């Protein structure tokens, strides 16, 4: 048993000695190679361009150049594939980033355009009562449009002011461009407005400066065509003349609109060969599809000044 242990121990010592010799040889070879490299580098940089070492370098380059070119050509598809994959991932990330920036820019643009349009509408409403002939003695209450009729005729809207704000049924409703309708019903905080494009609407109106008056209604099937009826044939009506509320009552029609509110402009006149009246087609000043704010012309209480609207500079 002891002999076997001695044998194993002797073998281990022999292995350790062998390993140490191998390590010393490798270190010696590395030192020799390092010295040779230093010698060759020193000789290379010290000799002229026509020297031996420079000639060996040029020869090696000539021999290896075709191999290098062939290897480069063979590996080109793999390099291109690797670059394409990398570019695809980079482009995907860049595309996502650009989409996010575009969405943010669009949101800011939409907000800016909305604010600009609302500011323009509010400014126009401030200036409307200052126009010559506009009815005085009213207290305009500004309200935001919160709902629209779902039909193609936009015959009614809802606003965010109601009876608590002094709004009552049949009060005129205007924008900065002119008349748009009347209050049909109210709650404490909201009101429903019937537009002049509604089939039930009828407004006593007058053509200026001619003075011819009639009843303004929307055409059947085309609410964008406002028709002023009962204008006498002899009247010379011209395109471009302004139409305003007349404040007159006609038969059973009781005017709820004070005189002087702008409505629109004459587009054309259609004389009727049978009747004694002619029909005048009117283009409304107001854009019924782009109303964000309106004003309700409420009755002014004694001693109360007209309401003002704050707008941006």
Per-residue model confidence as pLDDT tens digits over 148-179: 887 655 689 999 999 999 999 999 999 988 89
Domain with 195 in it: what CATH number? 2.40.10.340
What is the pLDDT, as a whole number, of residue 180?
93
Residue 224's pLDDT is 79
Is residue 304, in this structure, part of any structural domain at all? no
Q: Residue 242's pLDDT is what?
A: 93
Task: Decide if 2 is inside a domain.
Answer: no
C-alpha span between 251 and 231 (Å, rounded):
15
pLDDT at 282: 94
d(CA 125, CA 210): 26
Strand partners, 159: 145, 191
Q: What is the mean pLDDT of the chain?
A: 78
pLDDT digits (tens, 9 = 90+) for 109-119: 777 766 666 66
Asked, for residue 73, whether it belongs to a domain, the answer is: no
Contact by Cβ (8 Å): 220, 279: no
Q: What is the pTM of this model?
A: 0.58
Domain containing residue 268: 138-299
Q: Is residue 101 part of a domain?
A: no
CA-CA-CA-CA torsion sign (9, 10, 13, 15): negative
Inside any domain, residue 11: no
Classify residue 98: in a domain, yes or no.
no
Question: With 60 as the cut, is the pLDDT of residue 90 above it?
Answer: yes
Kindly state whether residue 105 falls inside one of the protein's structural domains.
Answer: no
pLDDT of residue 312: 36
- pLDDT score for 244: 92
> Is the per-residue pLDDT at 6 higher than 60?
no
- Total domain count, the chain: 1
pLDDT value, residue 195: 93
**pLDDT grade for 14, boundaries at 50, 70 and 90:** low
> For the residues 63-76, what does the mean pLDDT come to?
70
21 inside domain:
no
**pLDDT, tens only, 222-277:** 777 899 988 887 788 889 999 999 887 665 555 688 888 999 999 998 766 556 78
């Amino acid at each position: 048993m002891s002999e076997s242990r001695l044998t194993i121990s002797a073998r281990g010592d022999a292995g350790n000695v062998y390993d140490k010799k191998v390590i010393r040889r490798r270190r010696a070879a590395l030192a020799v190679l390092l010295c040779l490299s230093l010698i060759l580098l020193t000789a290379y940089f010290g000799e002229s361009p026509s020297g031996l070492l420079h000639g060996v370098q040029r020869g090696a380059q000539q021999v290896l150049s075709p191999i290098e070119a062939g290897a480069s050509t063979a590996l080109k598809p793999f390099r291109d594939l690797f670059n394409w994959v990398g570019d695809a991932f980079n482009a995907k990330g860049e595309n996502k980033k650009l989409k996010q920036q575009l969405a943010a820019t669009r949101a800011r643009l939409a907000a800016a355009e909305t604010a600009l349009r609302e500011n323009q509408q509010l400014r126009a409403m401030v200036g409307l009562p200052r126009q010559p002939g506009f009815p005085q003695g009213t207290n305009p209450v500004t309200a935001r449009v919160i709902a629209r009729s779902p039909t193609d005729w936009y015959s009614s809207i809802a606003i965010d002011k109601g009876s608590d704000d002094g709004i009552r049924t049949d009060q005129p409703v205007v924008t900065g461009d002119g008349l748009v309708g009347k209050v049909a019903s109210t709650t404490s905080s909201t009101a429903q407005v019937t537009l002049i494009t509604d089939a039930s609407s009828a407004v006593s109106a007058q053509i200026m400066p001619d003075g011819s008056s009639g009843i303004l209604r929307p055409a059947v099937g085309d609410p964008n065509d406002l028709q002023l009826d009962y204008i006498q044939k002899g009247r010379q009506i011209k395109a471009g003349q302004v139409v305003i509320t007349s404040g007159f009552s006609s038969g059973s029609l009781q005017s709820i609109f004070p005189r002087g509110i702008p409505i629109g402009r004459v587009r054309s006149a259609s004389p009727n060969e049978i009747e004694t009246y002619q029909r005048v087609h009117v283009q409304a000043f107001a854009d019924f599809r782009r109303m964000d704010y309106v004003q309700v012309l409420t009755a002014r209480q004694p001693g109360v000044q007209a309401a003002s609207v704050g707008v941006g500079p």
